[in-house]
Amino acid sequence: MLDDRYMPKYRFKSVCDITTDDIRAMGVDGLLLDIDNTLIYDETLRPLPGVKEWLEYISSAGIKTAIVSNAIPLRVIPVAKKLKIKYYIYSAKKPRPDGLFKAAEKLGLPIERLAMVGDQLKTDMLAANTAGAVAVFTDRARDEKIFRFYFKKARDGEKELLQEFERRKTEK
């Protein structure tokens, strides 16, 4: 089933490929960031290659950032500290939009001036579209090591939507 609510507006291979020009072109001043498989390899505290430098690069251009994660505080807080991201929302319950609104409030920006960046259509992108933030999809860093069966099903469900996204892009 193709549902536009899951559809990203932009797609990148990695967060590190998102330039400050891209961010300005999206019409936003800040990024809400998923952590697992977007910034950090799942089940680890290891950032994807280049993530720390990328965060410094966008911050120095005045782009604000906050983490919005469904993970528990025990995971989110150490990641936020490690990456020096001041604002974070844990147990966000994406695809519910509440966590995105809370993060927007912390950043002092209206939700439409923010992009939600994440690697899952049915949580991150649905939350972005529901909240009214710009939906930015990044390809996952690797196959999930935990909840393999759950994630395999979720990833299979994403394939058709991503094919549709690519088809529309080439039509433009």
We find the least distance from the C-beta atom of residue 161 to Mg ion, in angstroms, to be 16
Judged on CB neighbours under 10 Å (0-12, 13-18, 19+), 101 is: middle
Region class of 50: left (phi > 0), else alpha (psi between -120 and 50), else beta: left
We find the least distance from the C-beta atom of residue 167 to Mg ion, in angstroms, to be 24
Residues 18, 30, 34, 117: which binds Mg ion (CB under 5 A)? 34
Residues binding Mg ion: number (CB under 5 A): 4
We find the least distance from the C-beta atom of residue 75 to Mg ion, in angstroms, to be 12
Instruction: Between 140 and 168, name the residue whose CB sits nearer to Mg ion.
Output: 140
Instruction: Between 64 and 75, name the residue whose CB sits nearer to Mg ion.
Output: 75
We find the least distance from the C-beta atom of residue 103 to Mg ion, in angstroms, to be 15
CB of 37 closer than 8 Å to CB of 140: yes
Q: Which two tokens stand for residue 1?
A: 């089933």
Q: Which residue is nearest to Mg ion (CB)?
A: 36
| Interface positions, 97-136, toward Mg ion (CB under 5 A) | 119
CB of 156 closer than 8 Å to CB of 138: no
| Nearest-angstrom CA–CA distance, 98 and 87 | 15
Residues 36, 76, 94, 99: which binds Mg ion (CB under 5 A)? 36
Q: Is 158 in the site for Mg ion (CB under 5 A)?
A: no
Could you tell me which residues come within 8 angstroms of residue 112 by beta carbon, excluding any fewer than 6 positions away?
132, 133, 134
Residues 6, 30, 37, 141: which binds Mg ion (CB under 5 A)? 37
Q: Which two tokens stand for residue 85?
A: 């991201």
- What angle (nearest 5°) sits at the alpha carbon of residue 33, between those of residues 71 and 7? 100
Task: Give the binding site for Mg ion (CB under 5 A).
Answer: 34, 36-37, 119
